[in-house]
Amino acid sequence: MLKLGVNIDHVATVREARYRGRTEGEPSPVDAALQCEAAGAHGITAHLREDRRHIVDRDLTQLRERISTRLNLEMANTPEMVGIASRVRPNIVCLVPEKRQEVTTEGGLDVLAHETSLGETRRSLNGVGIEVSLFIAPDLEQVRASARVGAQFIELHTGSYAESFRSPDLRRHELQRLVEAARLAHELGLRVNAGHGLTVANTPALFVVPHLEELNIGHSIISRSIFVGLTASVKEMLQAMSGYTA
């Protein structure tokens, strides 16, 4: 079964637009996470950015205390974030690139260029019982480097696929890249997740990609919830994912 991890960052973005710097405010990303779980989500994803633009430290602590599914912490590979992860103990950390000027994560990690530091971080996090995923583009050399780092998972960046979805030729090309990357990852002993830009409309076409375990989806679910509610939005995505066979 293909699992759904719901990214609740955008709930925090709405809160911070009005309540930034305060200790309370609405909407609550923790309450949103609990509602997503109740609707059938298999895990919750949250990105604690260095500038704390949406999720803040107290959110992460409360998520760890209150959710009953899998907590996936997205974070940059920095000593501060490694320390926070080691204290909070999410089930899994997904290491992502981070630029202050970007609106959301725009690309995959350059694992090739940072194998040594990523390997050190992987060992540190594994040492306290946290699994490690690397968020990468569907590039075969990046997959090989991820295996050398010793990560348990990769998360394939599906942004280029999502952006090409309405162009059949480009879509086929991007799907083939994802297929090849997933196959190689599986051969190398890596488990495979995917995410970025996925929607109810474009997720079913992703079913040609083998060995997927989890999709991490945020913006589409949160934006749809404005019109139908969060429970219905999560259920719609789960239905769109239901036909997948690895």
What would the two tokens of residue 124 be? 């540190």
Prior bond of 27 cis (ω within 30°)? yes
Residues 6+ apart with CB under 8 A from 94: 45, 72, 73, 74, 75, 132, 133, 134, 135, 153, 155, 193, 216
Residue 206 DSSP code: G
The answer to whether residue 187 is catalytic is no
With contact defined as beta carbons under 8 Å apart, do 137 and 157 qualify? yes
Q: Which residue in the list 16, 37, 74, 131 is annotated as catalytic?
A: 74
Whole-number Å distance between alpha carbons of 107 and 121: 20
The answer to whether residue 74 is catalytic is yes
Q: Which residue in the list 10, 42, 47, 114 is annotated as catalytic?
A: 47
Q: How far is CA 106 from the centre of its chain?
A: 12
Whole-number Å distance between alpha carbons of 172 and 97: 26
Q: Which residue in the list 174, 196, 214, 236 is annotated as catalytic?
A: 196
With 0-12 / 13-18 / 19 or more C-beta atoms within 10 angstroms meaning exposed / middle / buried, residue 15 is: buried
The answer to whether residue 114 is catalytic is no
Whole-number Å distance between alpha carbons of 131 and 128: 9
Whole-number Å distance between alpha carbons of 51 and 207: 35
Query: Concatenated DSSP letters for 124-178?
Result: HHHHTT-EEEEEE-S-HHHHHHHHHHT-SEEEEE-HHHHHTTTSHHHHHHHHHHH
Catalytic residues: 47, 74, 196
